[in-house]
């Protein structure tokens, strides 16, 4: 059986950025990877979106991350991750926002 591909969006520009990162770390610790394939999408304090190949560890903003955006195209549900000047398309089944504060809890993302 294929695992459900889950985008987990965390971080953000609000003052609650560190709390969101901690929440994403909790998700990473408890997510059943036998059932779900996680894709951790961090938003830096400055608003840059990054796909974090290593998950939401303490140094994710300076670590193994690459620029990424959620696809605005309805025919391609998922993520566009920049790799060597080209976008890699990653289909997602569901996106879980783990954002706190303004531009997160208010749904504005």
Question: Whole-angstrom Cα distance, residue 61 to residue 57?
Answer: 9
Strand partners, 87: 82
Establish if 108 belongs to a structural domain. Answer: no
Structural domain of residue 17, as residue ranges?
4-99
Establish if 9 belongs to a structural domain. Answer: yes
Average confidence (pLDDT) over 76-92: 91
Question: Whole-angstrom Cα distance, residue 34 to residue 14?
Answer: 33
Tell whether pTM > 0.85: yes
Give how many domains the chain has, as a whole number: 1
Listed residue (50, 42, 77, 44) closest to 66, CA to CA: 50
CATH code assigned at 81: 3.40.50.20
Res 76: pLDDT: 86
Q: What is the pLDDT of residues 39-62, one digit of tens each?
A: 999 999 999 999 998 788 777 877
């Amino acid at each position: 059986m294929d695992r459900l591909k889950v985008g987990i969006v965390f971080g953000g520009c609000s003052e609650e950025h560190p709390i969101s990162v901690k929440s994403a770390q909790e998700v990473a610790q408890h997510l059943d990877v036998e059932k779900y394939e996680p894709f951790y999408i961090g938003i830096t304090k400055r608003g840059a979106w990054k796909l974090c190949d290593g998950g939401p560890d303490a140094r994710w903003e300076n670590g193994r991350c690459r620029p990424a955006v959620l696809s605005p195209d309805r025919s391609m549900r998922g993520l566009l991750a920049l790799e060597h000047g080209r976008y890699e398309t990653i289909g997602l089944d569901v996106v879980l926002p783990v954002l706190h504060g303004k531009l997160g809890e208010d749904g504005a993302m």
